Structure 1
């Protein structure tokens, strides 16, 4: 009985589009938390935001569940943009950017 070595399978390098999409998705994910922080600081610098923070008068409660679901959707879009084929990753990057913008708007809407 003889044993034949199988040739090593080498996958093709990722296309330039895939690298560009993954890079932009990673940059957007890294900048998402600072964007949330800056949005909250800017909101607290307003008159209404400051009053809500200090006095807690007439402030709408922050939608924790909706924001948590939004964060989960952002992470899923990030994973899809990083791991999916280029056609799907392009749409996942768009979804990630839209969801991150929605997250910043939610933070801005509730002082």
Structure 2
């Protein structure tokens, strides 16, 4: 057989690299599902009696936009850390991203 330099460059993937790739993939999936989760939470909230009354008669509590934007900034920052940081920080950043996304969805549910 002849020696092929392209095949020599391909090394088997280590388990650590596979785990890092899996964490990055999970962070991407969570980021993609974040916006549909926010929309679904808002639709669910507006379909309740309290949400419908709020829309029809007004008088809703004001939505804390600054806090929500801070949560979104935290979600984006943790996603960037998962994608770019060394492996030892990725799992914690994925946990932070998931927790911040859950808090943002709960915040949407709390304010009709």
TM-score interval, smaller chain: 0.7 to 0.9
Question: Which of 48, 53, 56 does residue 54 from structure 1 map onto?
Answer: 56
CA distance in 1, matches of 2:47, 2:90: 37
Which TM-score applies when normalising by structure 2? 0.85
- CA deviations on 1:75-105 (whole Å, 9 max, x unpaired) are 0000001111111011000000000000000
Which TM-score applies when normalising by structure 1? 0.86
Structure 1 runs, 4 residues or longer, greater than 6 Å off: none
* Residue matched to 2:20: 18
CA distance in 2, matches of 1:87, 1:17: 11
CA RMSD of aligned residues (A): 1.5
Aligned length: 100
CA distance in 2, matches of 1:65, 1:54: 25
Structure 1 residue ranges without an equivalent (≥5): 1-9
Structure 2 residue ranges without an equivalent (≥5): 1-8
